[in-house]
Structure 1
């Protein structure tokens, strides 16, 4: 399954925070944003077959 590309505009301060956080978790900013979104979707009970569990990190934390 190909990943959907989507332009995302972020406040520079938010991006800097995400960049530091991603580095702390040994992820790229893109991978960390995807991880955070997947966690939010799972937490909200909206995770379904359309959202692929390409990383198992969400089950480990």
Structure 2
């Protein structure tokens, strides 16, 4: 006679779901942060370009 252990499926599914949600959240945060850095770099470059154009115009 073999006694099979009862598998706690609700707990396993809840832990698996928590892991998947955590990974997706981490990917989302990484994408948001990368996009934020890109926008900041674009803004800085536009300001520098504007300053350079003003400087060049003054030299003409």
Instruction: Specify the structure having the higher radius of gyration (Cα).
Output: 2
Q: Which has the higher helix share?
A: 2
Q: What's the TM-score, normalizing by structure 2?
A: 0.30
Q: Which structure is richer in relative contact order (CA contacts within 8 A, separation 6 or more)? A: 1
Q: What's the TM-score, normalizing by structure 1?
A: 0.30
